[in-house]
Amino acid sequence: MANLQERRDKDGKLISYSIRVHRGRGLDGKQLKPWTTTFEVSPTWSEKTARKKAEAFAATFEKECREGTTTDSRQKFASFCDYVISLKEQRGVKHSTIVRYRELTRRIYPQIGHIKLRELRADHLNDLYTLLGQEGRNKRTGGKLSAKTILEHHRLISTVLEQAVKEGLVPFNVASRATLPKAEHKEVNYFQPEQVAAIRDALELEPIKWKTLVHLLLITGARRGEILGLKWDKVDFAGNRIYICNSVLYSADVGIYETTPKTERSKRYITLPVESMQLLREYRVWQIERRLQLGGYYQDRGFLFTQEDGGPMHPDSVTDWLNKFSIRHGLPHINAHAFRHTMASMLYFNGVDSVSISKRLGHAQVSTTANIYAHVMEQADQRNADILSDIFLKKA
């Protein structure tokens, strides 16, 4: 039953009722924040009449709360956003996503966190997005935030407000009425064949561990964390393939941890060339020998690529090594993701279809692959035109 609490002014005159409806307890056993509203009392009413009207209003309010059709008149964006993020975490959303959500709130809350959900307007969001696009908002560079990053903030806000719609707190998602910055389409960064050849030549001078790791980045097109999460029991030597079903990431609050890949479609088999499988065999022999040398210090957890004690590698250690590697051999700047783009681009240039490439990359949708590599596809199509011209139009 709803709880009614009188509110009186300094002269003792009844001015309103505060109404609270118990919501029960959450999955963690803690009591949920109650539904609340205020019933204003007309100065012309007697207290008996005011009480009667307030009780009728409270009964209707409680019914709407139970049916999910009410509007909480005092719920503010920040508190509800915290609730939604916690709800996402309880429902199994990836830890890296939760961490990113909380990072985004640091810019969102100072601007709109204090605004009540029912009072949030599109112009509030437009002002926020304009502010985020100004100089000095990027703490790392001192410059502006990219349109992509601003859109990340918008997507979180929209997710929160969509949950508010579901719970009957607001009638519609006001984020759908905001004006967004134009998304920037950056061309993917990939290596030319001669650059790949130079990288491969330089790798011949490096330890077999790093030679193998970089080789897999290039041939598989897998994400950095997916390569670091690869274990020997997922290497199929008979079938010349590997199974991507694990990823190693890092978060400041939990350190290095294992998780599943980015999406369900990211779990996939990737067929490898014979040369890659031979390199893996050689590397496995080296790792076994190294493990024997370290003795009890090395705790085997099954990973292909490990720290000295057998534990999973920090993802940033790959980035650091590639930076030093490129400087050491006079190569252009190398980042792990560029190998992923290089593999996909080379497949496009050699006539492979988007469906096959998307499957190898582990994208959730083929459209994602097509959008990322639209410019590469245009270049590949121009090569197709040149081939057709050579076949059909040019005289021998």
Domain containing residue 167: CATH number:
1.10.150.130
Give me the torsion for CA of 183, 187, 190, 194, rounded to 10°: -170
pLDDT for 72 equals 55
The pLDDT assigned to 27 comes to 67
Instruction: Kindly list the distances between the CA atom of residue 279 and the CA atoms of 109, 286, 360, 395, in Å, as whole numbers in the listed order.
Output: 51, 11, 20, 46
Asked whether the predicted pLDDT for residue 68 surpasses 70, the reply is no
- Of 52-56, 185-189, 388-392, which one has max mean pLDDT? 52-56
Contact predicate 289/266, CB 8 Å: no
pLDDT at position 377 over 90? no
**SS3 for 359-392, per residue?**
HHHCCCCHHHHHHHCHHHHHHHHHHHHHHHHHHH
Q: Tell which of 119, 146, 177 closes a domain.
A: 177
Contact 315, 225 (CB under 8 A): yes
The SS3 assignment for 13 reads coil
Q: Is the pLDDT of residue 73 over 80?
A: no
How many Cβ atoms from other residues are within 10 Å of residue 194's Cβ?
A: 8
Assess contact for 142 and 131: CB atoms under 8 A: no
Of 67, 100, 120, the residue that ends a domain is 67
pLDDT digits (tens, 9 = 90+) for 114-154: 999 989 999 999 999 999 999 988 888 888 899 999 999 99
Number of domains comprising the chain = 3
User: Where is the domain boundary, 17, 45, 67?
Assistant: 67
The residue type of 154 is H
Helix axes 193-203, 208-220, angle to 10 degrees: 160
Q: Are residues 146 and 86 in the same domain?
A: yes
How many CB atoms are located within 10 Å of the residue 160 CB?
Answer: 25
State if pTM tops 0.85: no
Q: Is residue 159 part of a domain?
A: yes
| pLDDT tens digit sequence for 254-277 | 999 999 988 888 999 999 999 999
C-alpha to C-alpha distance for 249 and 197, rounded to whole angstroms: 29
Query: Which token pair is 369?
Result: 């692959």
Report the pLDDT averaged over residues 57-61: 90
The range of the structural domain enclosing residue 58 comes to: 3-67
Identify whether 396 is part of a domain.
Answer: no
AA letter at 164: A
Question: Tens digit of pLDDT for each residue in 186-229?
Answer: 777 889 889 999 999 999 999 999 999 999 999 999 999 999 99
What integer pLDDT is reported at residue 270 of this predicted model? 96
Residue type, 209: K
Identify the pLDDT of residue 273: 95
Is residue 151 domain-shared with residue 239, that is, in the same domain?
A: no
Other beta carbons less than 10 A from residue 101's beta carbon:
22
